[in-house]
Amino acid sequence: MRLLPPSTNNAYTGARSSVWYLFLTGLLTLLPGLIHSFLPDGGSQVIAHLDVGDRGDLVVSVFRWEGATQLAYGAIILMAAMRYQTLTPFLLLAGVFERGLMAVEGWIFTPPASGHHPPEHYASVVFAPLALVFLILSLRNRKA
């Protein structure tokens, strides 16, 4: 097939739990992508409870942009978990960096002035260390 090369699943020797975690990560990336892309406010007020002031149009467009990237990234993650499992360690490493940077940004460098954190700030604190654990497991050879 020209679009997708053959599956590499037979060559993956890491922990199966890491692949399942990667699959869950893909689903949990698609969900906010759908919310940001299709809710009328992009989730900015309904979910994140942000005060958008008189720039609601700008906030919604930024949320929609983020939703588009989440949909694409989530689809890639799901494809890897289902068909290209040898990419599991690489995508988990990307997840450690992504979520780690999001956590540092949201809690240390630029915490919200209102003190109210959107759900992603909490999720990043949880998923960064989890991704690290599953990255380590994905690099170890599975017991026969």
**C-alpha to C-alpha distance for 115 and 99, rounded to whole angstroms:** 20
**C-alpha to C-alpha distance for 45 and 41, rounded to whole angstroms:** 7
**C-alpha to C-alpha distance for 140 and 143, rounded to whole angstroms:** 9
Q: Is the pLDDT of residue 144 over 80?
A: no
| Angle value at C-alpha 88, between 15 and 16, nearest 5 degrees | 20
**C-alpha to C-alpha distance for 88 and 135, rounded to whole angstroms:** 8
Locate 58 and state its tokens.
Answer: 């700008």
> Does residue 60 form part of some domain?
yes
Range of the domain at 87: 14-139
pLDDT value of residue 46: 87
- How many distinct structural domains can be found in the chain? 1
> Does residue 1 form part of some domain?
no
pLDDT value of residue 1: 64
At 81-100, the pLDDT tens digits run: 999 999 999 999 999 999 99
